[in-house]
Chain A
Amino acid sequence: GENVEQHPSTLSVQEGDSAVIKCTYSDSASNYFPWYKQELGKRPQLIIDIRSNVGEKKDQRIAVTLNKTAKHFSLHITETQPEDSAVYFCAASEDNYGQNFVFGPGTRLSVLP
Chain B
Amino acid sequence: DTAVSQTPKYLVTQMGNDKSIKCEQNLGHDTMYWYKQDSKKFLKIMFSYNNKELIINETVPNRFSPKSPDKAHLNLHINSLELGDSAVYFCASSHQTGKVFSTEAFFGQGTRLTVV
Which of A's residues lie within 8 Å of B, judged by CB? 31-32, 34, 36, 38, 42-46, 49, 51-52, 87, 89, 93-95, 97-103, 105-106, 108
Contact = CB atoms under 8 A, between A and B. Distances in A.
A28 to B, nearest CB: 15
Contact of B42 (A44, A52, A95, A105): A105
Contact of A100 (B41, B48, B53, B107): B48
Interface string B84-116: 000000101010100111111111111000000
A101 B33 CA distance: 9
Contacts of B12: none
B53 to A, nearest CB: 8
Main secondary structure of the interface of B (DSSP, over half): strand
Contact of B96 (A34, A89, A99): A99
Rank and list the top 8 A-B pairs by shortest CB-CB distance, nearest first. A98-B55, A32-B102, A98-B50, A103-B43, A43-B107, A46-B104, A93-B102, A95-B102
Interface residues of B, number: 31
B83 interface: no
Contacts of A36: 107
B25 interface: no
Contacts of A95: 96, 99-102
B104 A49 contact: yes
B40 to A, nearest CB: 8
Given A51-B101, A97-B55, 5 more contacts: A31-B102, A95-B99, A103-B43, A103-B44, A105-B41
